[in-house]
Amino acid sequence: MKRVVTVLMEHFKRWGVDHIFGVPGKAVVPLVLEAGNQGIDYVLARHEAGAGYEAGGYAWRRGLGVAAGTSGPGGTNMITAAGQAKVFHQPVFFLTGHPSMKETGKPLGQDSTFFGTDLVQMFQSVTLFSARVERGEVLKSYLAHAVEKAVTGRRGPVHLAIPYDVLTEPIEPFELPFPEREPGTVSSRLDRVFPLLSGAQRPLLFLGKGVHLSGAYEEVRALAEGWGLPVATTPGGKGTFPTVHPLSLGSYGLGGGPEAEEYIRNGVDLLIVIGTSLSDMSLPALKPAEYPRHVIQFDVEPAFVGKSLPAPTLFIQGCAKTNLQALLKEMRAFAGTGVALAAAAIDSPAEHAGLQPAAGEAALAESGQEKAPDADAPALTARETMGILGEVLPEEATVIGDDGSHSYHAVRHLAVKRAGSFLFDDVFASMGHAIGYSIGAQLASPKERFVCLTGDGCLFMNGSELSTAVNSGANVIFVVLNNGRLDMVNKGMRAHVGRTDGTVFEIPLNVKGYAEAMGCRAFRCGTGDELRRALTAALALEETVVIEAMVDPEELPPTLARG
């Protein structure tokens, strides 16, 4: 016989989990102690939301992350992180406690059943599976259901609430294998793709974050190059295709650039959509006259297919990587039938978009979304910051963008040299989540170099996790754009309602001082040269580094296209 908590921790260890993130509390003390017994590092987060984000970043690199919080507020604090993981499709195991199953129904502190704060019910809408293990004998079936939901199919977070007395209950030990993620079946509709491709005169390959999730980087590149397809990415799809590639038109949607916008404005007869549900963040200003004539949409599930664009849509269901691999196998045979493939890659994205070489900058200025440089403005701008990051960061570095203007400046201006080197969520968009994701990813893959791109507003929300990074040895480089305000909301309110109430910090955050108080090495930069020197120094250090970039508070973000 073994205790429930022992069997549980043995499974996590066997499944490759070496770190669990959380904040201890009485209801989960057995879990914390048993993690140590099994050689699992219990990473003390500074807040349960931070623990959930850190588990999300860990899951992104390891395939499974675990966050543990005590009953009551420990669990409720993790709910936002669960919502972020669900939209990001990250397989995170959320574990919460409860004082005592046997005492349920009596007045209990931090009660997590329906007599108090029902965590099982609260987690249901932000996870793929949420259940309470009310006796030890059901652990095996509940654990099997939870891990299958987490790591197979569409993937995402799950939640188990295990009361204190159940954690310590003796049970017959068992062993569950880690579910293998099947590649999935190949769509029977793939043969209908080639006629649409061969007949298209102005096609566009439109990539979302599903390419990140499936790891289909090589497949989309081969498809684009094989058919000479121009490529645009959604904000969340930034990083799925190198922006330096001749076929890249950059990003479209919120924060998108002029090349993709101009190309779409001039007409698209076939839109090949891979890994995006085409949310309002991806199509914020698309006019009816700009709708494509036909759509081919690759996605795991049909929930939003055909809902955003009133155009005939060929739905290719299943894993994008699997279906693209099958499609690419047929390309050579199809070409051999005498039907010519599309034209070869063009010389520049601006040329393919129908722009003259310098037209991109002019389009930005005319759109009113980008402010022309001002001699009297502060020396450093967000746009310049992105240019310097692209210049100084090595190709192997991976940038994780937080939610705010800073990341939309990156969506438009940051050069991506390697597919998979930029990660950003534009849908759930919880501010500060990238701070935790960067820490979790760094601990999951310590030989990689991770850079967190965040802002002062995000740091106000989850900046205490800098201390977690220092104490756990997560040597992330945090680049914090500081303009003393919630910039995206500030500029949006100014443009649309003429007021900016509640968006400016009366006393701005001293990021360098704050970071140093958390134990970080910190730099403050007000010029491009200072930023270059700070980044170069940070790359040479093996410690947690925070770089504060003091940017122009009046610079307009590239997000004003959404109403």
* Domain annotation covers residue 359: no
DSSP 539: H
User: Reading across the β-sheet that carries 92-96, which strands appear in turn?
Assistant: 41-44, 19-23, 65-69, 92-96, 158-161, 130-132
Encode pLDDT of 216-238 as tens digits. Answer: 999 999 999 999 999 999 999 99
* Domain annotation covers residue 363: no
Does residue 167 share a domain with residue 197?
no
* Domain annotation covers residue 561: no
pTM for the model stands at 0.91
* Domain annotation covers residue 559: no
How many other CB atoms are found less than 10 A from the CB of residue 329? 11
Q: What is the pLDDT of residue 351?
A: 53
Does residue 346 share a domain with residue 374?
no
Q: What is the mean pLDDT of residues 326-345?
A: 61
pLDDT exceeds cutoff 90 at 294: yes
Residues 6 or more apart whose CB falls under 8 angstroms from that of 49 comprise 77, 78, 80, 81, 432, 436, 462
Does residue 222 share a domain with residue 166?
no
* CATH number of the CATH domain containing 42: 3.40.50.970
Give SS3 for 110: coil
Does residue 522 share a domain with residue 454?
yes
| Residue range of the domain that includes 475 | 370-550
Give the span between the Cα atoms of 485 and 478, in whole angstroms.
18
* Domain annotation covers residue 364: no
* Least confident interval from 43-52, 163-172, 254-263, 443-452: 254-263
Does residue 428 share a domain with residue 540?
yes
Does residue 283 share a domain with residue 382?
no
Encode pLDDT of 167-205 as tens digits. Answer: 999 999 999 999 987 777 899 899 899 899 999 999 999
Residues 6 or more apart whose CB falls under 8 angstroms from that of 201 comprise 269
Could you tell me the pLDDT band of residue 454, with boundaries at 50, 70 and 90? very high
DSSP 542: S
Q: What is the pLDDT of residue 121?
A: 95
Give the span between the Cα atoms of 549 and 481, in whole angstroms.
5
Does residue 198 share a domain with residue 283?
yes
Q: Which residues pair with 248 in a beta bridge?
A: 231
Does residue 38 share a domain with residue 99?
yes
Would you say 317 and 299 are in contact if contact means Cβ atoms under 8 Å apart? yes
Give the span between the Cα atoms of 303 and 468, in whole angstroms.
38
Which has the higher per-residue pLDDT, 19 or 186? Answer: 19
* CATH number of the CATH domain containing 219: 3.40.50.1220
Q: How far is CA 247 from CA 109, 238, 298, 400, in A?
A: 60, 14, 20, 24
Would you say 143 and 8 are in contact if contact means Cβ atoms under 8 Å apart? yes
Rg of the chain on CA atoms, in Å? 24
Give the span between the Cα atoms of 320 and 499, in whole angstroms.
44
Q: What is the pLDDT of residue 58?
A: 98
Most confident of the following: 93-102, 324-333, 434-443, 548-557? 434-443
pLDDT exceeds cutoff 50 at 364: no
Residues 6 or more apart whose CB falls under 8 angstroms from that of 53 comprise 81, 84, 430, 432, 433, 434, 435, 436, 437, 439, 440, 462, 465
Number of domains in the chain: 3
Does residue 138 share a domain with residue 287?
no
* Domain annotation covers residue 365: no
pLDDT exceeds cutoff 80 at 345: no
Q: How far is CA 74 from CA 4, 91, 117, 118, in A?
A: 21, 20, 11, 12
- The continuous run of DSSP H or E covering 181 comes out as none
Could you tell me the pLDDT band of residue 358, with boundaries at 50, 70 and 90? very low
Could you list the beta-strand ranges (E) of 331-426. 398-401, 422-424
* Least confident interval from 98-107, 166-175, 235-244: 98-107
pLDDT exceeds cutoff 90 at 84: yes
* Domain annotation covers residue 563: no
Encode pLDDT of 133-163 as tens digits. Answer: 999 999 999 999 999 999 998 899 999 999 9
State the average pLDDT for the chain.
89
Helices (H), ranges, 201-251? 210-214, 217-227
Q: What is the pLDDT of residue 193?
A: 93
Does residue 307 share a domain with residue 216?
yes
pLDDT exceeds cutoff 80 at 259: yes
pLDDT exceeds cutoff 50 at 462: yes
pLDDT exceeds cutoff 90 at 16: yes
Residue 91: phi, psi to the nearest 5?
-75, 85
Encode pLDDT of 385-399 as tens digits. Answer: 999 999 999 999 999
Does residue 235 share a domain with residue 196?
yes
Could you tell me the pLDDT band of residue 305, with boundaries at 50, 70 and 90? confident
Does residue 235 share a domain with residue 97?
no
Q: Of the residues 352, 382, 397, which one is the last residue of a structural domain?
A: 352
Q: What is the pLDDT of residue 180?
A: 86
* Domain annotation covers residue 177: no
Residues of the chain with pLDDT > 70, as a percent, come to: 88
Q: How far is CA 131 from CA 5, 121, 127, in A?
A: 16, 8, 10
